[in-house]
Amino acid sequence: MSSWETVRPYFARGALAHIATLLPDGAPHSVPVWIGVEGDRLAVFMVEDSRKDRNLQRDPRVALSTTRPDQPLDMATVRGRVVERITGEAAMEVVDRIARLYTGADYDVRSGMAVFFIEPERAWSQDYSG
């Protein structure tokens, strides 16, 4: 088991992550997302009332994974729980910070976004690249 402090840089570098949420029947739902680190929490954003949004509002448990873009054998995972959801202008400030990691610019869509803050409960990383 790695510490959050060891795993945190993996999620702060603008690499694509995958988020797994739970569907109403308990089945996993995994999709790629942009992700950011806000203090000691992870932040992801999505369109309000999307499948991910509804899943996380119903069940706050989540798993995330990412790899180093130039070395996919260097990876990290986090299991955690959503502790806060924001919308409106406050959400757009976080959305723009995350978008700048990936594109260097603010996000094009200016409304209808939800941001979820995730508190890591278990963290793990491993570099298998040798």
Mean pLDDT of 72-91: 97
Asked if the model's pLDDT at residue 98 lies above 80, the reply is: yes
- The structural domains of the chain, ordered by start, are 4-127 (2.30.110.10)
**Residue 130: predicted pLDDT:** 80
Mean pLDDT for all residues in the chain: 96
Q: How far apart are CA 6 and CA 76, in angstroms?
A: 9
Residue 11 near residue 125, CB atoms below 8 Å: no
Q: Could you tell me the pTM of the whole model?
A: 0.95
Within 13 Å and on the Cβ side, how many CA atoms surround 17?
30
